[in-house]
């Protein structure tokens, strides 16, 4: 009988200890954010652009490839194009897309891809 009381008291004490900050009125810590996207070495390539997109949908991979193609086209035309800025843009895009559901991210990538495709591609870039 005495051992049952000790076991019950111990279980109650452990249960209260597990409650932690519940009785203090403090908020639990927020859940962790999405993981930091990879930052491949420069120079950028289409494969590295897709690497940044990680496990996002094929639509987002297509967007990353298109953004790289636009960058490469600028270079072919003799325009200045900052590879570090492209990498940062893709990393920021990935960070924001990771906060959405898979369907929302895919829809956003499709909308951006469609918008970018409206700009004609110069003949030198074909």
Place of tokens 């997109």: 53
The encoded tokens of residue 26 equal: 């403090």
What backbone torsions phi and psi does residue 113 show, to the nearest 5 degrees? Answer: -65, -45
Contact 86, 69 (CB under 8 A): no
The reported pTM is 0.73
Tens digit of each residue's pLDDT (9 = 90 or more) over 78-98: 998 899 999 999 999 999 999
State which residues form the domain around 81.
1-126
Tens digit of each residue's pLDDT (9 = 90 or more) over 55-70: 999 999 999 999 999 9
Q: Name the domain count of the chain.
A: 1
């Amino acid at each position: 009988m005495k051992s049952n009381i000790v076991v019950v008291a111990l279980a109650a004490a452990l249960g209260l200890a597990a409650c932690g900050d519940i009785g203090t009125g403090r908020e639990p810590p927020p859940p962790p954010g999405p993981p930091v996207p990879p930052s491949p070495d420069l120079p950028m390539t289409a494969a590295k652009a897709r690497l940044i997109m990680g496990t996002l949908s094929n639509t987002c991979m297509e967007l990353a490839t298109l953004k790289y193609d636009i960058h490469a086209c600028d270079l072919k035309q003799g325009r200045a194009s900052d590879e570090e800025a492209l990498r940062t843009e893709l990393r920021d895009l990935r960070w924001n897309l990771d906060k959405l559901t898979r369907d929302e991210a895919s829809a956003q990538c499709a909308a951006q891809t469609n918008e970018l495709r409206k700009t004609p591609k110069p003949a030198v870039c074909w």
